[in-house]
Amino acid sequence: MLRNLTLTIKILKFLLTNFAKFRTKVHKKQFTERAMLKGRFSSWMRPVFYFSGAVFVVGILFSAQSFTDNSGNPAIPERVPSLNESFSLPEQLEFAGEPVPLNNFDTRESLDKEMLVNGYWHSRTIMLLKKSKRYFATIEPILKRYGVPDDFKYLAMAESGLENVVSPAKAVGVWQLLESTAKEYGLEVNEDVDERYDLEKSTEAACQYLLESYRIFGNWTMAAATYNAGRKGLENQITKQKTANYYDLLLNDETARYVFRLMAHKLITEDPSSYGFHLEDNEYYPLIPTHEVEVDEGIPNIAEFALQHSTNYKIIKQFNPWLRQNYLPDQPDKVYHIMIPDSGERVVQ
């Protein structure tokens, strides 16, 4: 309390000093030849200023008192996390059903680093939490259908922040697929249609890539690492270092941090309140109910197509970002499915 009072006095002294300087400058400039008016100005302004200062001091004191409890200790609101604390790491942890050797100091410190980076990157982490239920509703069933561990949904978080972004290396979409990789796994990529922006189809392509990596390396942790470093890059390091254990390999900084970043997303997303993130159920973005419109011919104008289906161009593009133009060319024997929100679902309930 004494510290708060001392600080308040210093602030008030600063304001008084600077106001006096300001008043002198104004008087010299505007009232030099108006001495009588200057006197009147001073006479009514001085008590107003002193009264305002007193109100300010009282307000500061009451504010300071409101943030202390009966014993004089800071009363921190329950929902506000401390900004200068480390996070407690679990004694045991698994990623994709495989144990993480947290008894090794280097492994533990690597996880600790990613927890601090993501735990204190508040705006990004809160946005990821808000979007997680909407995106995971699509991703989780596909992972299960392909037999890929559920923890790989956090790979999409780490890769793109659950956004359709384009990397400097021209990797595209939530799963950050290169054009060559996307085409290898059956996605259509051209100037009119780019299915790397299709969440369902890109998730399926990512699953196929991860399954193939798992068959090559024999464990899911290394499969996750290949998504960042590539299979060839990891194979070279295995040959060089005589070990195929991710936690024993000396890798470039990005790949060395990569799997630990997935673990950090997992820990925070599964138990956000333990890491200072408090979201109510209604603060998560919900999955918007949609229906499919099957298209087996070209669409000359997507804006007109949208109006015909009681929506607009913006919404069509938002739910079908794989449509890269304002039209869809006619391709023989090709059928597309366009997602449209159900009637009334745009309005927040």
Domain assignment present for 346: no
Tokens 């070990």 belong to residue: 243
Give yes or no: residues 146 and 189 share one domain: yes
C-beta of residue 138 within 8 angstroms of C-beta of residue 206: no
Residues in the chain: 349
Segment holding 290, helix H or strand E: strand 290-295
Q: What is the C-alpha separation between 287 and 203, in angstroms, rounded? A: 17
| Three-state DSSP class for residue 336 | strand
Give yes or no: residues 128 and 217 share one domain: yes
Give yes or no: residues 298 and 265 share one domain: no
Confidence category of residue 167, pLDDT binned at 50, 70, 90: very high
Stronger pLDDT, 28 or 110, i.e. the higher one: 110
Residue 140 pLDDT: 98
Phi and psi of 218, rounded to 5°?
85, 0
pLDDT in tens, 120-162: 999 999 999 999 999 999 999 999 999 999 999 999 999 999 9
Residue ending a domain, among 283, 304, 325, is 283
pLDDT in tens, 168-214: 999 999 999 999 999 999 999 999 999 999 999 999 999 999 999 99
Domain assignment present for 77: no
Q: Which long-range contacts (CB under 8 A, 24 or more apart) does 166-173 make?
A: 172/196, 172/197, 173/197, 173/198, 173/199, 173/202
Average pLDDT over all residues of the chain? 85
Within 8 A by CB and 6+ apart from 114, the residues are: 257, 260, 261, 263, 264
| Three-state DSSP class for residue 228 | helix
Domain assignment present for 82: no
Structural tokens at position 266:
């997992």
**pLDDT average, residue stretch 321-346:** 93
Q: What is the C-alpha separation between 220 and 108, in angstroms, rounded? A: 19
Question: What is the CATH number for 150?
Answer: 1.10.530.10
Confidence category of residue 36, pLDDT binned at 50, 70, 90: very low
Domain assignment present for 62: yes
Confidence category of residue 72, pLDDT binned at 50, 70, 90: low
Residue 344 pLDDT: 80
Residue 105 pLDDT: 97
Residue 86 pLDDT: 82
Domain assignment present for 85: no
Residue ending a domain, among 66, 86, 109, is 66
Residue 41 pLDDT: 44
DSSP designation for 72 = S
Give yes or no: residues 161 and 127 share one domain: yes
Number of domains in the chain: 3
Q: What is the C-alpha separation between 163 and 176, in angstroms, rounded? A: 10
C-beta of residue 277 within 8 angstroms of C-beta of residue 126: yes
C-beta of residue 135 within 8 angstroms of C-beta of residue 174: yes
Q: What is the C-alpha separation between 137 and 141, in angstroms, rounded? A: 7
**pLDDT average, residue stretch 270-286:** 94
**Number of Cβ within a 10 Å radius of residue 269:** 19
Domain assignment present for 348: no
Give yes or no: residues 250 and 337 share one domain: no
Q: What is the C-alpha separation between 204 and 198, in angstroms, rounded? A: 10
Give yes or no: residues 60 and 134 share one domain: no
Residue 173 pLDDT: 98
Residue ending a domain, among 266, 283, 300, is 283
Q: Does position 71 have pLDDT exceeding 80, yes or no?
A: no
Residue 346 pLDDT: 83
Q: Does position 6 have pLDDT exceeding 70, yes or no?
A: no
273 Rama class: left (phi>0) / alpha (psi -120 to 50) / beta: alpha
**pLDDT average, residue stretch 331-343:** 93
Domain assignment present for 153: yes
Give yes or no: residues 255 and 155 share one domain: yes
Domain ranges, residue 40: 2-66
Give yes or no: residues 220 and 300 share one domain: no
Tokens 């009119």 belong to residue: 192
CA angle, 29 then 35 then 37, to 5°: 90
Q: What is the pTM of this model?
A: 0.77
DSSP designation for 323 = B
Confidence category of residue 26, pLDDT binned at 50, 70, 90: very low
Give yes or no: residues 131 and 273 share one domain: yes
Q: What is the C-alpha separation between 153 and 252, in angstroms, rounded? A: 23
Give yes or no: residues 210 and 331 share one domain: no
**pLDDT average, residue stretch 231-249:** 97
Give yes or no: residues 188 and 302 share one domain: no
Domain assignment present for 199: yes
Give yes or no: residues 103 and 197 share one domain: yes
**pLDDT average, residue stretch 284-306:** 96
